[in-house]
Structures are given as C-alpha cells and as structure tokens.
Structure 1
Amino acid sequence: MLSLAFFGAAATLRAEESPGDHKLSEWSFGKVLFGEKFSKKDLKGKVVLIENWGVRCPPCIGAMPHLAELDKDFREDGLVVIGAECQGHGKSDIEPILKKAKVEFAITEGAEGPIEFSSIPRCHLFDREGQIIYDGFPDHDKLKSLIRKALKEGAAEEEVEKDSNAPLIASKSWTNSEGVAITAAVKSVDDKNVVFIMPNKKEVTYPLEKLSETSREEIEAAASGNEEEDADEDV
C-alpha cells in the first residue's frame, strides 16, 4: 500500500510539470454502473474530473470521500466527477464502497484514454474547453484549488459573452415624431438609424429622424457614452 501511494505521488509531480496537450474528446467512458448516465455532449462546457480507481486499491478507497465532497461542493457550479473503476469489479463489490463514502457521481467501467499509467488512483482534470489541466495523484487540496480556478475562469468568460450580447438600452417605451409609442430594446445606433429589438426578438431598423426629439436624444446619448467607454478600453 505504501509503495502504491508513493508511486502515485511521484506521478503527480511529473504530471504537474507537463500534463500534456490532451483533450477530453480523446476519452471514452465505457458503461455507467452507478449514477446518472451521460454522453460526451453532456460534458460540453463543464469542468470534468476523471478518477481512475479500483476496489482493491486502499488509497483509491481513501480518496472517495474527498471526491464526493468535491462533487457536492461544485456540482451546481459546473463540475462533473466521473469515477472510472479499472480493475474489472462488479456492482456487488463496488456498491458498499460508494454507500460508505456517500458517492453520488457516476461510476463507470471500461473507460479508456490516451494517457498510460501504472498506478492508481490517478485523476485527470479538464477545463470547460476540454483541455487537460492536471494529471496525477488526487491531491484533495490541489484539486479543489484547480477546480475553483477553472470554474471561476469559465464563469468570467460566460459573463463577458453575455455582456457582449447585451442591448445598448434595455427594453422601454419610445415614441416617434407623431406620438406613436412602441416598446423595444435598442441594439445599436449609427448616424441615421437605430436598430430596435422588439418583444418578439425581431430586429427592426428605424430612421432616427422619425423619432420624437426626447427619444432620439436619449438614444444618441447612450450611443455616445458607449463610444467613450470603447475609447477608454483602447487606451
């Protein structure tokens, strides 16, 4: 048991230095024995932790409660934990271990990947883009730190994407020069036209000169303020 844990730890040091350029798409997960079934499509955009383990591996059994904790703490944030049993044991041997460790994540058999290893436990961690960011012994504190970082970076990128798609002005009431009112968001504006986003999500281009003076001034002011922000970012 000591030698297994030692060689597992040694593999961690090498893996941290160079986890390689592997992608999650290179892995197959075999058959799901316990937990919710999933496909590769379900893992898209998720931070994924694959744990290679076995029933006859004491360090593997010892790591199970920690993996269950990571799953519980970060599942709602986008982490998916997969326990890949690689010693060929059946459900009757595996189930008592899962119950004792309160494991709720998926357990599979027959998983395969491009990384060869001679000792277990061995884990692979992938970011939301499917790029491997850690390969080695399941050091709980290090994994927790890496998972938190990967989830945070992914959330920040999603927020930037949402902001880039946000309208210039949120939906509100506008009037034209004849006093007719419409409710719409403003997507963009140039010297001559404004692009409205209607409640049905349809985009409508409308001449600025046909808006009431109040509506036109508000839209032009918002556009001017947005241009100033862009200029500041360029500097």
Structure 2
Amino acid sequence: MDKKYSNKGLKIIAAEIQGSSKQAIGKIIEENNVGFTVTKGAQGPVSIAGIPHAVAFGADGKLIFKGHPASEEFKDVVREALRDVKVVKENLGGLVALGDVIEQRTWTNSEGVKMVAAVTKIDVDKVVFRLQKNGKIVPYPISKLSEEDQKLIKGMIEDE
C-alpha cells in the first residue's frame, strides 16, 4: 500500500515491538522486500492489542482504524481516506504536506530576496506562505514575486 498510494501522501511506518535486534529487523525487512520505514519500538496514545497490529489516522489527525493490517477493513478504510486526495504534481517534486498547495521550496521576490516557504493557499492576486524559519503564515502579493515564481503560481491557478 505504501508504494501504491505514496503519490497521494500515504506514509506507512511499522513498529517492531517484540524486542528484536536491529540486525533481526533488518533481515526481515530484506527478506520480505519491505518498502516502508520500520522502527524499533513505539510509544503513543493508541494501545496495541495483538501482533501484527495497524493504526491509521486521517488527514485531520483523527484515528480512523485500529486492528489487523491484513484485514479488508484496513484496506477499505485507507482507500476511503485517500479517495478525495489529489495526486501530487510530479513537476513540483516530493510530497506536499497536509494543507500545502505547493511544497516548501526557495522563493525569490522581484528584488532578488529569497525565502524558504510552502504555499498554503493561492488567491487571484496573492499567495499565503508558511515560512520555514518560524512557521508564520504570511499573505504575499503574487506581483512581488520573481517572474519565474509568478509563472509557477499562475500555472497552478490554470490547472485548477
């Protein structure tokens, strides 16, 4: 599922909780061609009742599944949660964080000043940045961006 839905932002992380060594975990990962992250141990707000066990959270961070990962219910819940998620545009590279219209990147204004930010919203004449430096949300006029960045934004508007 990790590979199948990774272009929609799905990230699977498995936790080994039986106390196996890193070498033993690595061997199992290699033998089973596991294509997702596996951690040694886990802590969190969800109790585990059986092995294997899976939990899934929706885009809003709420628990949407708790149970056996091989069950049809698990697959159905994940498919349903991803149903309305758009595929990430390949030309932007990487994945867009929850709520981001354009992933974090370096932007340049018309005076050559650079900033690292993600775009959380695009309006007709402005974008809303989430700055990497401090996480602040800042509205910014599209006309004050470099020509290259203006073209990128306008391309996003036209795609909608």
- Bigger relative contact order (CA 8 A; separation at least 6): 1
SS at match of 2:38: strand
Partner Cα separation in structure 2 for residue 145 and residue 99 of structure 1 = 27
The CA deviation string for residues 57-98 of structure 1, in whole angstroms up to 9 with x for no partner, is: xxxxxxxxxxxxx11101121111011000011122112211
Alignment of 1:1-235 (within 5 A): 70-155=1-86, 165-167=122-124, 199-201=143-145
Q: Which has the larger radius of gyration?
A: 1
Deviation at 1:102, TM superposition (A): 0.9
The CA deviation string for residues 195-234 of structure 1, in whole angstroms up to 9 with x for no partner, is: xx65325xxxxxxxxxxxxxxxxxxxxxxxxxxxxxxxxx
Q: Call closer, same or farther: CA 1:166–1:135 in 2, change over 3 Å.
A: same
Residues 128, 154 of structure 1: 8 Å contact kept:
no
Any stretches of 5+ residues in structure 1 without a counterpart? 1-69, 168-184, 187-196, 202-235
Deviation at 1:137, TM superposition (A): 1.2
Partner Cα separation in structure 2 for residue 111 and residue 159 of structure 1 = 28
The CA deviation string for residues 82-139 of structure 1, in whole angstroms up to 9 with x for no partner, is: 1100001112211221112211211112211233334211110001111100011113
Please, what is the CA RMSD of the aligned residues? 3.2
Any stretches of 5+ residues in structure 2 without a counterpart? 88-97, 102-118, 127-140, 146-160
Partner Cα separation in structure 2 for residue 115 and residue 145 of structure 1 = 20
Partner Cα separation in structure 2 for residue 107 and residue 73 of structure 1 = 18
Partner Cα separation in structure 2 for residue 92 and residue 131 of structure 1 = 34
Equivalent pairs, count: 104
Residues 67, 74 of structure 2: 8 Å contact kept:
no
Partner Cα separation in structure 2 for residue 112 and residue 105 of structure 1 = 19
Q: Call closer, same or farther: CA 1:118–1:150 in 2, change over 3 Å.
A: closer
Structure ranking higher in helix proportion = 1
Residues 127, 133 of structure 1: 8 Å contact kept:
yes
Q: Call closer, same or farther: CA 1:118–1:145 in 2, change over 3 Å.
A: closer
The CA deviation string for residues 131-180 of structure 1, in whole angstroms up to 9 with x for no partner, is: 100011113533232222212334499699x9x8442xxxxxxxxxxxxx
Q: Which residue of 1 aligns with 2:115?
A: none
Work out the percentage of aligned pairs sharing the same amino acid.
30
Residues 8, 85 of structure 2: 8 Å contact kept:
no
Q: TM-score, with normalisation over the residues of structure 2?
A: 0.53
Partner Cα separation in structure 2 for residue 101 and residue 146 of structure 1 = 24
SS at match of 2:18: coil
Amino acid aligned to 1:116:
S
The CA deviation string for residues 13-70 of structure 1, in whole angstroms up to 9 with x for no partner, is: xxxxxxxxxxxxxxxxxxxxxxxxxxxxxxxxxxxxxxxxxxxxxxxxxxxxxxxxx1
